[in-house]
Structures are given as C-alpha cells and as structure tokens.
Structure 1
Amino acid sequence: MVVKYKQNYIGLCIKGKKGIEKGRKDIIIDFKSSSVPSTPTNHSNFTSNNEERVASTKLKKSSSFSGTSCSNFTKNDRPTVSSIDRDAFLKCFEEDFIPVKIVNVKDMQDRMFQIKLTLASPHIDWEKRCSTLKEIRSLIANGATRYDEFFSCLRLLEPSMQVTLKDLRSQVVRETCITLAYLSVKLRSKFDHFTEIILSYLFALIPNAVKVMSSSACTCISFLLENSRNSNVLSSLLKQLKSKSNVIRREGYDFIALVLTKWSTRYLEKNADAIQECIVAGLSDADSDARAHARRGFWAYADHFPNKAEQLRRSLDFSKQKLLQGKINGVVTKVASSIRTRSQSADRSKSKDISHSAKVDTPQRPRQATCKNLKVKRFVQDNFEPESDDAHSESSSLYSNTSFSSHGSRSEDLLHVIKNLDNSLWMDKREGLLSLKSLLLNGRKLNFEELKQIMECIVRTLHEQHAKLFSSLLDVIPELISTHSNMSNWLYILLVRLLLRGGSSDVLGSLQIKLWKCLQVIRDTFDPSEQIQCLAKIIIEPSLSLSLKVKETISTYAIEVVKRIDGEIMEKLLKDNGIRLAVSKIIMWTSEPKSGELRTASCKLIVALFDCNPPAFQSILSSMPHSFRQKTTAVLKTFVKRATGDEHKNSRFISPFPPPPPPVVDNGVNDIDIDQLLHNLSNYELENGKRMDHFRALLKVTTSGSIPEDEWDSFYSSILLLILDAVSGKEEEDNLKEIALKTLNELLQSDITKVGKYLDLTTKKILECKLSENSQGIKTVADKCLKTLMKMSDLPLLLISISSCITADLHELNVISLHALKDLIEKSSREQSMDALSSIASKVILAYYSPESSVRKCAVVALVALYMKVGDTILKNYLKDLAPAKLQLLELYIEKLSKKERN
C-alpha cells in the first residue's frame, strides 16, 4: 500500500514537470519503478549498490536510493518525521537547554544525585525524565565540568542511563541518545569509559521497529565513536559484529569503516588483528550491505596497515578479490596495485634519492562512458548528492565528479590548496584552509612531503591576526592532527603559536573556546612527555616575551598534561636541566604581584608536579636556593590538604620544618602558638565550630599586636592566604566567612603594604563576598575591607586590580567591580588615574558591550567618572573604536553631569 502511494505520488510529480528533459524524465520513471520503503538506517549514507552485479550497466535498486542515513542525509532526501538525523542532534546541542545555576560543588553533587534517582525510576512520569536528561546538558553548559567531583558523579549515572535506553517511550530514548552524544562531544576522552559501557545498549536499539529509537541510536553511536578514540571502545564495538541480527552486523561494519576512516593508526594498532578478522567475516556475510561496508572497511584498513591488507587480499578466494578490485561501470580500480603504491610511497618518503627517481602508475580516466551511464550520473549528482564529506563512500566513488579521476587529480587539488595558502590575501588563504579541511574529511591522507608543505603554510598563517582566517585555521589543525600520526616535528611551533594567541587580549570569546578545543586535541593526541619538554622550552626561551596572561594559559594547559604523565617518566623528565630551569621559573610565578590568576594557576601546577612524583620533585627542590624552597613549601602547605594524626605522619609531603607540637590553645593571647594555630586552620577536616574558634584566636592575635615584627613578616602571607581560602568557602559556612573577613580587615589595617603581591586575589575575594545573598553581615564586613584597601597609598595598583575583576561572563561581579572602580576613580588624583588608564579603559569598554543592561549602565557611569578625571583629550584615544550609538550615549551622560556641576 505504501509503495503504491509512493509510486502514484512520483507519477503526479512527473506529470506536473512539463518542461522536463525526456532523458531525465526516463530516469525518474525508472527510479519510480524501483522505489521501495526505506530500509533500516545507515549512519554515514554509504551505499552498497549491489556490487555482486558489477557487469550490468542498468541502474539497479540500491541502498543509495532506499537507505536513510542516521547521521547525514542527502540534500533532497530529508529524514521523515519519525527519524532523527545529525542536524537534529546538533540543534539540540545549541538550543535545547533548561535554566540551571550552579552555586558550588555541593549544589552540583546534589543535582547529579537527584538526576540519578529520577532516571533510575521508570515509574516516574516520562516528561519529567526527559526534562532531567536536558538538565544534564544544561549543567555541562553552565560549567559543571570545572569541578573534579562531577566526573565521579557521572560514573554513578551509568546504570541510570542504561535504564533509560531500555525505556518503552521513544522520546525518553531520543533524549538519552542526544544527551550521551552531547557528553561525548564536550568531554571527549574523559567519556571513554561511559562509551565502552553504553555501546551494547545502543546497538540493541538498532533493530527496533520504532524509527526514532533506531535512528537516534545510530546517530548517537557515530558521535561516540568520533570523540571517544580508545582501544577498549573499539573492542566493545568489535563484539557487536558477532550478533545474529543482520541489521546490527550491517551497521556494525559501517561503524568499523567510520572508525578506520576517522581514527589515527596508534589507536588501532592494539586491535589490528581483531579488525582484520572482522573484515574477513564481513566479506562473507549473508547481508549484501554488510559485505559492501566490509569492502569499504578493507580500503580504510589498507591505509593504516598496507602490508597486512596485502596479505589479507592474497588469502581471499578469486571471487572476493575481484569484488575488492571493484569493477563498477567499466572502471577497474586495482586494489593490490594501489596498496603497493601506497607502501612504496611511504618508503620513498624516507629516502630523498628514491623519491625523485621512482614513478607511480595511476589508473587513467576512461575516454568515454555510455550515454545512459552519464544520465544516471548527472541525475544522482543533482538530486541525491550526500551531505557527508566522507570520500570513502562507495556512492561518492561511483557518482561524484572525481569518481573517474586518478590520484594525480587529487594531487592537483592539494597543489591548489598550497597555492591559496601561500597567497597574501586572507580570503584566498581562508579558501585554501576550507579546501584542505574538505580533503581531510574526504579521507585524503598526506605523505610526509605533502604534510611538510602544508604545515609550513599553516605555521605562516598562524601569525595572521584576521579572526575569520584564524577560526578556519582552528578547524583544520585538529583534523590534521587526528588523521596524521607523524606530526611530532610541529608540536613545539603549534604550542608556541596557539598558547601565545590564547593569552592575547584581542582574541574573541568564541575563538577562545575554539582555541582551547584545539589545544585539547593536541593534549589528547601527542605524547605527554614530549609536550612537557616543549612547554619547558617555551618557558625558558629568552626570545619569547611572555605576558602574564600567556603565562597563566601555559600553566593551565600544563596542569592537565602533568596529570597524564606516569611517575617514573616524570622522574626521568625532572633530571633534564631545561625542565629544572622551567620549574624554577614556575616557582617565581607563584609570587607574581600583578596577577592573582597566574599565581593560582602556577601554584596548582607546582602541586600537580609534586603529586606526580613527590620524591623526584623534592630532589630537585633540595638543589634550589633557600628562597625557592621556602616559596614551594608555602605553596604545598596551602594547597595540599593535610589531615591530622596518623594521616599527617604518613603524608607524601615531607615538610622541611619539624612536626608541630601537640595542640595548645588558650584564652590568653600570649600563650597562642602561631605555628600550631596555622596548622589547625589549614586542617579542612575540622568541624566549622572548631575552625571558628581558631579564627577567633587569630583575630585576637592580629588586633593585640603581640607578635614580634620579624615573626609577623614571615607569618603574614600564610595568614592572608588561609583567610582568603576561608572567605571563598561554601554557603553554609557564612559564620566562618564573617569571622574570616573581620580578621582580614584587621590584617589589612595592621600593615596594608605587605598585601602587595596578593592584591589581585584579595580584591577579587572581597568583591565576591559583596555578592552574598544570605548574610547581610558578610556584605557589611566586605564593605569595610574594601574601604580599608582604598586607604592604601598605591591607588593605581588597586585600580588595575579592581578592573581585572571585570570579565565577560560574570555579570553580577562586573556590577560590583564597576561600582567600586567608579568610587575609587573619584577618590584618586588625576596622576594616579593616568597611571592605570590603559588597564582601566579597556576593561570598562569591554563591560560597555555587555548583554546585561545593568552592566552597561555601570560601565558608562565609570567612563563618565574617568572622563571627568583625565579629560577629553587623553580619553578620546581609547574611545575612537567605540560604536557611534554608544559614544553618543556617553556624551549625553557627560553633558548631564557637566550641567549638574555647573548648577
């Protein structure tokens, strides 16, 4: 009944096409007669085309017409209402969120626990469970991944996700698949274990009669395999190929072809023999589509393991070898010759003399094709051209414009790319990058000489400042790295250029996100020990003038790299003089007075190096000057949370100081042991009540002035950092925060000059406390602390410090910072404002473009205060790039204030 309706519908469409060419009309009628209902999904839109009948020149029924892709659909063959494609997933990634605000770690953990309970209970309303799945995506979008505890909570979600995949509601299964794909895209390698566990449940959905379930599962699997490149994931995939279901086997071989096309060789080496066995089984499968996917997988396998592929081809019987040679429409592609050619090309790349003397035979373009075949080819190009860029598709090799072209024509495409990249115009360079990306997505592998030429062009392009060109570059580099394993020679230059751009203030927020994704691919792909050596070289390179922001970017990136290194390898690395020198520079960064973010990042890096191999780190620390050892010890005592009792004795950190005496706390101020008091304050295992008692004792010490001046200098920094750590605690510690802020105010009043190198951190923590919604007492004490800070003599430094708290995303903090900045500008002299003008103006103008109206209003008020202080002549240099509408509004505010002052 469905077929009859479909045929009638096509017939009516043909009748309406009065001006259609006769030959084209015949082809459409021929297609009408072969129309059948859609077969089960095929995730990459690869076609089988019934290759057992290669001698026939007539257009046969093939899956390129009847098959529907789960991840990429053809331009004119859109998915039906019931199927879910890749575009639908991507749309949900960008739009389908619910409002979520993460207050702190405990809030995030509570939400994840509630999500686990909801998803694990099938009796709960299905709409509630769908909303819960969207909440997971919203948590990630709102920064849940910045907490390490999130990943442990995610592991607990694995059983709950398995339950939702078994749900009878198609909408629940659809949302689960979208959420799994979103997690895979965002977490990449950190989602590998989840992918390994969940794959079998997704494959079980493929034969499902409900199209939403089967297509969602296929699309989800394609996302998982693209982002989770791990040998264990591949092993889990290979197990599915032993299924009794022909649909599962068919899709499984298709996914194997996808893996062999997208993954680099180093991820496949462990399972190379198992993949070969699967390809052999696939070539003999009862399902014709499965055989076609297996043959395509053989081609991709040959790109990674040419020698094994040649041995496999020879072991097959003659009929299978003939099918692999692919005699389609009179065009014969000799697989064995191409494999030997690729093998010889790889050998030639190692020897310059051989590479110049050897010649490669390539198949030539046939001079003539039959009229009917040309009509078929033209019809399919116009109406059924796949959106997928995968050139390993058999349909593309049969019908695309380059189907009859040789390897030489592909080289011409690459020469065109290189020519564009060498052009001086940025538009031509961008066109070259887009063409290169298309070639890479089509499975084009570059030999060493080609890769060298491309990388030389890319390195030159990395110096370009144009945003669109840089954005295209950040799209190409991950594809190059993912598809080529011989990129180690360019690791250093890539890291140098990308880290320098990452620390630049002129890079837009969207480009920053894309840049960090690119750095994440580099971090996950290259050997961590090589990355550490390159980072050390960057840090100690005297010709590179690293800004504070670049140093912070390097430290943030290095933390994740260090966490991936084995302790024994780190011990060998720390024996290198260059790395030792880099460590000493990082220790100096921990006391940088102008950037609190750099101090925090470098301190975390020191702790990460220590945690990787404590004995090796202590050995290089012992060879450093006393001042370096003292700084490092202070960092480790602050950041490494040590417990009391036996845990403290067994701690990996061996302090150069003797162990503290038994606790002695007395009501008398003179009897308080400062060393022991600081040790108790740094013990996070204590209850809030006991910690509050210790802070009260510290408050007495700071107000009494009983500590000698020489001891006060040595304790001041430690006390300040402990207080700042306490004021940034959880919401339920409001009483502790208030006492800590009172202590901070007394500490600032006692000697405000000693806060110098921690000024940025202190300012930011005080401003954050002014955002407290639960306690008015905290706000009041924070105001007192801010007024105390404003009494310091070096107001330009404080102006810079407050302006550094203005960021692109924290709107509430921006409002508080702009208010404080405006008050301080009015209090300072003209000379003091001039000293900090460059830092202030750039940050306030950034806030002036905020999407929040409250932030924009505070920014324009601060600009008016700055104008009244420094004058029109000096400030107009910073306002020349301001939008006309915003400049007009600023002039209106200035005019109103001027009239008010005159009156």
Structure 2
Amino acid sequence: MDTNWLYVLLQKSTADPLERLKLGNVILNEVSQRKVSPHPKLVNDFLDVMSGWLTGSNFKVSTIGLEILDAALRTSPDVLASYYFDRCSVLIERMGDAKVQVREMAINLCLQLAYLENSSPVMLLDRLCVPGTGFQHKQWLVKVGSLNILREFLSSSFALVIQQAITLIPQLCRLTNDPNSEVRDVSTQCLIDLMVYGGKPIVAKIAATRLINEQKMATLLQRYQTTVATRGDLPPKHTITMETTPAQPSRNSLLRRSLRSPAKIIHPSASTTSFTSSARLSTPPRPTTTAAQSLSLAPQTPSPLSLPSPSGGQMSRSRDLTRSSLRAPAGISISRYRSSSCAPAAQCAITLDDFKKSFTAVPKTTIYSNHDIREKLELANLVLRNANEDWSKRANQLKLIRSIIINCDENIDRSLLISIINELADALEFSIRDLRSQIVREAAVTCSFLFETFGMEVKNVAECVLPAALAQVAVSTKVIASSAATLTVFIVQKIQTRQIFTTLSELSSSKAKEQRRQLAVVLETLIASWDLKSKQPILKQIAQLVQNAICDADGETRVAGRKAFAKLEQLHGTTADLIFRELDPAKQKMLRDGVSSSSSSLNSDRDNNNQKQQPNQQNISQKFLSQRSASAVDKSIQLSVKPQTTAIPSRPTAMPMNNRLPKSSTSTSFSAVRSSGYGQNQSTTPNRAKTPSDGFAGSSPHYTNGNNNNKSSSSSPSTSTHQTPIQRVASNLGSSSFVASLTQEQANCLQNAMNTAKDEMSKNNEDDEFLLDEIRKTPPKEVPRSYNNSPFKPSNLDSSVHRSYNNNSPFRPSSGSVGSGSNGSVQSIEHILKACTSSSLNEKRDAIVNLNQVITDPNLCQLECKNIGDTLSRLLAEGNNTLIISILDTISIFIKFQYKKLDNWLKLALGKLFAKMGADALPNVKSALSSTQKMFLTTFDPTFQLKAVCDFMCDPVHLLSPKSRLALLEYICLLFEEIWPEDPRCLERQTHLDTPYTRAAIRKMFAWMFDPRIGAILMPACERLVCALFALNAADFTMIFGELPSECRDWAYRILQLNGQQNNQKPIEKEKERFISNNNYKPCPLDNEEIEKPIMKTTYSTYESTRKEYSQTERIATENQYSTPPPPDYRTSTAHLAKNHVDQAAYIRNQLDAIRDFEKADKLNEAMANLHGMMCEGSFTLWNQFFDELLDSIYQILSTFSQSIRKKLALRILQKMCTAQATKLFDSTEIAISKVLQCACTSDDNTMGVAAEDCLRILASHLPLTRVVLISRRILSQDDDDQRGVLILKMLTRMFQDIDIEELHLIVNDVAPCFVTAYESMSSTVRKCAVFGLVALVQRVGMQRMEPHLRTLNASKLNLIDLYVGRAKSSESGASSN
C-alpha cells in the first residue's frame, strides 16, 4: 500500500488551505481517471482526509473535497459506496453550509449515492430519518436539503420510498409549523407532491394526523386539486396499498436491484444544477465529443442537438423545483475515454432522417380483429409501465406498437384504435423519462410515428410526453438528448394546441441552456408550420419568447433565436417590428448582419448593379464588421459615390429586395427608420443610378440617363418593368391612399426631401448609425426650387440645432460642434455621447478621448452636463476592464471642471463608484478608483456629499454587494476623519448632524452590521464610523443614538469605551496616550503616508477664500505651524498578509513569542493589539496552525493576576477566536467560561464586567448548548460568589433571547429551577438578574410552560414577574406600531 498513488498523495495533506487546494487539484485529476484501491485502510484514510476538508472553514477546500468525492464515486462506486454511507453524516452537515454551491454539491452527491447500482433511495432516507439529523436537524438549511431530496425521490422512485414517506408524514406536518419560512414552504410542497403522487389514500392519512390546522389543511387540499388539474408532467398513477401485502416486493429486493435491469429508478423530468458534467445515472457516463468530431461524424441532416455544446462537453444542468427538485449528477470528464475504444462520438445523435427510417423498421405483426389489437396494446401498456421489466422487452413492445399501426387493414375500427393509443399516453411518457437510451430512442420514434400518422387525433399523447421530452433534452447522453429534441420537433409540427405552447413557454426561464436552445429551434418550426388561427391568440407570447432567445446568454440559443426572428419577420412583419424596437442596438446590429448574410444570395441575382463597378463595397463591409472606426473610410471614395443615395435596409429580410426606398418610407412607424437605413454609409451598399424623376435632374449630366430596368420588391419578376414617372415615385413612397392622391409634382418634391435628408445623414460615415434615436438636425442645403412651393416642406428644414458657445471661449468650435475624430472631422457632443455607447471598442475609445476635450469647456450648459454625467455613469457600470482607467480619468477631469453643475448627478455617480470599488480589480484599477474617490472628496461640498451618500445608502432601489457597502461606509469615514490633509474640505467640528437622512443612514448601518452574512466584513468600518461621528459632534451623536434600540446604544457605548472616546475633553497629550493604550483599531492613512492633522481645522468656507490668496508655500507653513505629528507607534495595517501565508506565519509567530513574555507587559499588550487588529481586518487566516497555541496563551493571560496586562483585549481576542473557529472550542467549553469568570472576578477594573458579559454572550451563542447549561447549573448551585452568579445569569438571559424556541423548550426544565433559586438569594443584584431571566423565559415559552417552576414563589414575587412581563409586551407592541 505504501506505493499506491493515492496513499502517496494523502501523505502530503497538511492543514494549510493553500496546500490543500494544490493537492486537491492533483487528487481530483488522478481520481477522475483511476480507480481507488479496495484496501480498507487506504479507503478509510482517504475518506478521513476528505471529511476533514469538508468540516473545515475554507469554502474552496470544501468545494474541491466534494468534487473529489464525486469523481471517486463515479470511478469506483463498487469500492466506495458502503464507506460513503458510513460517513453520510458529514454530507448531511454540508447541506447546511453557508455557500449555495457547497449545499448543492452535497445534495447532488447524496443523490448520486442513492442511485448507485447496489444502493437505493431507501438507504439514504434511513440516514435522513435518524434523530438529530436530516429532517430533525437544528439547522434549517439541512432541513430544506433533506426535504428537497425527499421530493426528488417522490418524483423519481415513488414505489420504492412510499412506505418511508408514509412514516414521515407526521414529521412533515410538524415541519409546516417550523419557525423558518423556507422550511415551511418546502415541507408544504413536499406534502402536496406526496398527495399528488399517492392520491386520495395519502390525503386521508395526512388529514388523520390532525397535526395541521383546518385552515392550512384547506389550503393544502386546494393546492393539491389545482396541481392535479393543471400540471401536465405528473408521473403515472400508482396504486398505493397502505399495509404491506404478500404481493409487495420485500425491502431487501428493492435495496438489491438486479444488474440486468438498470432502469428501475425513474428519473424526474427536470434537470438540476450540477458541478460536473451530468449524465443518466443508470448508464455508463458518456461525454460529448469535440466540435471537430461532431462535424466529421454527424449525418448530413443533424437534429437540433446533434452538435455538441461549445463548453467542451460539460453541459450544465439546472434545478427546476416546479417539476422535480433535484437531480443526481453522474457525468464524467472526457479524459476517461482518451485511450478507450468505447468513447462515444457525435454519430450517436439521432436525426430526423433516422426517425423516418425507423418508422417502418419493425417486425411484421398479423392483426386478426379489433379484440386482437386491444389485447396486444394493453399488454404493451402493462409492460411499458413496469419499471422492473427487462429493457429489451420494453423496447420490443414499443416497436410492436408501430407494427400494429402499420399492419392494420380497413376492417379495423379507427376510432377504437385511436382511443387505445390515447390510453398509452402515460406508458409512453414513462418510457420517455427512462434512463436507458435504447428505451428513450424507441419511445421517441414511436411517438413521432403516431403524430406523423394520426396528427391531432392523438393530441393527448403529445401533451403528455412533451414535458418529459423537453426535460430529456438537457441530459448529456447524446442519444437521449437528440431523440428527445427530434421528438419535440415532430410534436410542434403536427400538434397545434394551446397546451403545447404553454408547455414550451415554461422553458423560457429554464437554467439549462440546452432546453432554452431547443425552445428557440421549435419556435421557428411553430411559426412556420402552425396556421394563423392557432397562432393569432398567442402571437404576442411567441414574440416575447423569440426576444428572450435573441437576448439569451448562450451563443447557440441566440443564433437559433435570430433564425426564429427571420421566420417571424417573414410571416408577421408587424410583430417583428415590435421586437426589433425593444432590442438594444447591439442586438439590432446582429439581426441586420445575420439576416443580410443569410439572404445575400437571394438578392444577388435581382440586383441591377454590376458587382464589378463597386470595388470598394466588400472592403468597407469588412471594416464595418470588424468594428473599425467609420472615420477611417476614404473621403474621396465617399465623394465619388455621394450622388447614389439609395440605402439598403438596416435590417434585411429574407424576401427579395430592390434598391429604392421601401414602401413604408412615409409611415411614422419604427419600421420606416429601421428598414430605410438612415445614416447608412452609401459606399458600402449596392446602389442604383438616379433618374431625373428622382430629384437630381440638374445635378450632373452623368446621371441623367438612369437605368430603367429596376424592379420593385412588391412586383413579380415576370411583370413589365415599364413605369411612368409618377408610378415610379409612388412605388418608392408606398401604396397608401395618401400617396395615391398626390400629383406628380408633389410626389417628386416629397421624394427629393427624403433623399436630401438621407444625404445629410450619410456624411458622418458612422459604423453605429443604428444607435441614433432621432435624425440629426443639420444646416439646410440648397433644395430644388419646386420644393419651396410645395405644401410638404418641413417646418424645421431651415433651422439648425447647435449649442451656442461664447466667442471668447478657447474651446469654441468653428462650426458649432466640439471634438474631432481620428480623421480630423468635427464632432458634436451628441455624436460623441452616441459613440460612447457604441458596441465597437475602438469607436468607444476614440469617443472617450474626444470627450476629454469637451468636458473642459466651462460654457457647457446644465443639460449637456447631465447627459455627459449619465453617459459616464453607464460607462463606469459596464465593467469594461480595457477602458476603465480612461473612464475614471475622464470622470476626474469632468468633476474638476464642472462640479458646480453636478449636484443632481453626485448621488448616482457615487453609487456607481461604490459598486465598482466593491468588485475585484487589478492594482492599477484600484489606484485609479482611489484617485477618483479623492477627486470627489476634495471637490464637492462635504455637507452635500454626506447628504448624497446617506440618501443613496437608504434608497431601497439600489442593492449593493457587501464590499460595496464597505466602500460606502469608509467614504463617510473619510468625510468625518479629514483624511486628505492637502485639501481639508471635510466636515467641520460641531457640524449639525442630527438630520433625517443621517438618522436613516445610521439605522441602515446597524441593519447591515447585524446581518449575520455580512456583519463581520462591515464591523471594522462601523466601529470607525461611530467613533468618527462622536468625535465630530458629541451632542448630535447623543440625540441620534438616543432614539435607536437599546442593543444599538449598548454596542456604540462599548465601542466608544474600547476606543477611548469619552465625553469629557482632556488635554491633547493625555488624550493621545489614552487613545494609544485603549484603541484596538487605528486607521492607517492611504498609501502609508504620514498625515499631519491640524489642531485648528480649516473650515470649508475659510479654505475657499484663502486658497486663492495664499501660495502653496505659505499654506504649508501655516499647516506645519499648527500641526502635531502623529504618534510613532500607530499600528500599521496587516491586510496584505491575508494571502501571503509565509509572511503571515512569521508575523504571528513573533507576536506569540511576545505574548509569552509576561515580564514585559507593554510588548505583550502591543502584541495582543496587533493580533486583534489582524482578526478585525480579516488577515488572520492560519487558524489551524496557531489556534491551539494562541488559545493556551490567552488562557494564561486571563489567569494571571497582573494588573498591567490588558485582559479586556484578551477577552476580545477570545471572542474573535470563538466567532471564527467555534468548533475548535467545543471540547474546552467549560474551561473557556471558567477562565472568563475568573478574569472578571479577580480584576480591579470596574469595566471588566462589561467585557466579560460580551465574551460570555459570544461563547454561549457559539458553543454546544448542553455544555453551556451544564456548567451554568454547576456554578449556580455550588458557587457562593455573587459576581460569578450574576455573570452566569446575564449570560443565560441573553442566550434565552437568541436561541430557537425548540432548543429553549429542551432546556427549560434544567435552567428554570436555577433562576427560581437565585430569586431567593440575599443579594439584590442576583435577585434582579433572576427576575429578568424568568421574564425572558415567560416571554419565550409562555406562562403555562413555566407555571410548574413558579409554584414555589410567593404572590408578591409572582406579581413582580407579571408586572415586568406586561411592560415588556407593551413596549414591544409600541415599537411595532411605530
């Protein structure tokens, strides 16, 4: 065994998380390709190591450990299955992990374990039913995971788990009353599933338990009836016998399933989220092939899923709880088949041609009578419904169904045959859901043959099997997926019912990209094959589904969506226009490019222009497609083709097109702008020569002889091309009654006006012209004289819209516009802002460069500043890492020059900045963000900044990530703490802070801080903010915090006390000494620069007036005169040590060495402060290496009698250790509580009791409840020390308010007598604490539960308890009403 590869790797396992990650990747790679040795000691060692990884606190280590266990189970199921069941409790505990990914991976691994060949869901349910685990676990997430597993078993293996499910009915009923809402919802849904699958006997049994009140039971029955009536994906009806009968198979036979029948567990219809590539559980894992293999081996007519996913063969599976909660993964990496001859290829995919060939590839069957047909089809129905039947027999029965239909003669009653076929719906749906690929393929072929033969007569079968087929599309087995995909195409082609469309529309929100892709494919089929009567009521829903497919995250789904859009546009142009209008410009461009490339071959033979006469067309098109800037186009080419003003439609269609204006040109609908190509580069399109009737009679003699052979897109190619001038113009303008009523002169004038407008728009040569939401208004050009007398002359033709500039401004453009492109062309602000939203990266980069020149203009108006600010905010939120530094620099320049006009923009800009600062970024990006933040701080009025930040903080619309919230809080701290010494524009001392927005922000801060998910991240910033707020204005601080809840006030008081912030003002020297001795958080200035803080702070108004009068030298001298250098022993930040484990270990070792030296109290206190600072900053990560040693040192410090050692700091370190690594303190619970009590009782410091109370509260809430209660009872019963008793009573009282009600009921009988005994104490302090504890118990568990323990008290003491309980209830009701 010493030479085994796994044994060698396991010997390298350490406690270092980084080393575990590296080792885990090596083990995962090996265990995915090699089997694990069956040696018992090796397997036990392997699982012990993995269990240690799972129980650790590192998220990535837990994830890699679960991946290793999954890969090992897939490669060596026969070796590891029994060992996994022995350690199933570890997986159950991981179902309650804080990370969603870990929870899902643990659940999927449990499901995979249940579906092994020699395993069963019954065995896993046995583990989940153990008291204290699974359904009875104290962690609500574990309960939810267990319930989801039960729902999976109910939907997939109902016959196996029915007896256990019936036993669990009382437990499920109790869970519907769980304190957690999510547990209640899942348990309710589980009961509904059980009722749906089990029928009326289960409903009666649930009602007979009487554990659910009448109202809830009525709701359950209503939801049960609704589900039965509406759901189309229910499993076959099961006949359930409540009592075990001799006909039932024994449980051992269910646990030991036959290897020859791998399809006994019927999987659910919906797919689930999996962390590996998923496959069917009963068949060997079969990875998909690469794209090259698929293209070379696939048949000529591939099915919609015959090509592999671009993700390299690993198809993600999504969890759809409305159909089936969870799905066990059994996929495997393609590396298993690198050297194997059994590797599957793309030729396994099933195509439409394969289906049609298989229709008649069946053995011949002789049919004698109608009775003979009924007998044979009923036999087939029974065989197909039996999951225990051999798969070959089931496949033969599916072929028999096709053979019966093929060999029927005219004497057979057709109505009888169709009725019997409809009775096969459940059996066929059962076969479609099967795990055996041969069964799924034959079932899909049989169903397709039925739809092809009978059509709408078997619509019930189609509606039944469609959900199962769509669910099978997402599996990784190519035969199953492609068979199901082809079946869906047949269903949509032949069955046109509303139920079919409803089932399809449910896939729009599926998490499986394969299902969404197949939805887009069948949408194209639906649009093309369904008649108008069936499509008209659901046309809007079809359009919405097509739009969702176009905007999908998957590339292949978007391609299929664009094809569906082309078909929709061809048949329903108005609906396509509505979709096109709602799409963003990038999607519109994709539609134009994709459809034009697909329809170019159709238009090439109908184009009158010679391709050779336009040598630059192809080159310019390539520049456009490669996102080159339009300014690179040669202007000489542009001038040479300028008279040719006809443009191609910006969204081509699959129909033949001509080169004139479309018929809808005069319409005000969006299709006119979309199809007429406003602003299109004319040199890139095929053009026709203009005739004199087009309005260019006097422009050039070269164009007087036009080509008269052009055909209209509305006319047939066989019709005559001769048209009169008015007919030609009218055909260009459209065929509406308005155009028909025009005279020849009026029509010519209208056509000339439209041509002139297009000429003006084509001068800018933009790539992204489709982004313009309105026609740019340009100076008028000379128009034909006949147009001046026309009644159709637009009123705004002679007006030009340009921003007015000051003639003395150095930034004034020569032509009313600013900015210049790469070719020297002048650009307007509107043009630059439009270019900033371009999808072209080069275009956007050029626009940002031009914008830097524009924003320095002091004459920008308020509206222009608003538009520029909105554009910069959008650019900052896009997350483009390539341009982010340029964008931040532009924002800094914009603020510097235009900050007086940006009051309304400040709130939005700060929000985008905080969101960006909360995201992971490179060091250079972080530096740029810091510089931009500094520009905000040093430019805007600090009071206005505070209001903007507080308003944004309380705005419920904006949701920030935890790191973004941290950035926001630190920004407020910077406003308070005067962090920028070279520009002291921050809040003055005694600034009025008692405002509504400040109060709301403080309440919001506490809501964030008390959130258990993010409170640890925000705690240091909240402490810093409270101290800074108190230092800025103590009076307003008192007013604000006076209206907050008591726990918030107590917390703030403790923070101020710990940080040395007292109400009385002492001399500066003493204040600094006390601040240094008591402060555990000392902010480090940015970039580690020493900052000199002036005692006499310069106000904002004074600074504005003196900044212009005094030179920099005088100001620096003034600051130096009134400045005091910072204390030299401020603790530096250790955040950089979080990822540098080598330096972190050395630093911690030095501090621990200093802590052991009790003779040097100063160094010991400094070392404790440094370690506590590391824990506050999150840079202490080597817990496994130093936890035991640090805990021993803390215990020694708490036991010493030296008064020079800061024991309060040791208590805070113990709190941090318990919060971060509570499990490591489980075994020393009694020691920890005893040490804290000893420290509090032997100290002369009056404030030590407060610190001890906080520490005891943390220990009681994190350590095992039974041990805490046991030591508390021992201390209260044996110790006569009143101080220790008071601390224990306060600890228990706090614990009563924090723990769950079920846990409290378990310990009431143990702790209530102790409080009653303490109520009889001689000490008034002990009696007071006992009363508060009894009141807390009565509030939580009720007077009826406490009455047996309170009988020994006299009437006066009971009245006192009733009085306090009444006051507590009244205060709670008053707080809730407010």
Q: TM-score with structure 2 length normalisation?
A: 0.28
Q: TM-score with structure 1 length normalisation?
A: 0.39
Which structure features the higher share of helix residues? 1
Greater relative contact order (CA < 8 Å, ≥ 6 in sequence): 1
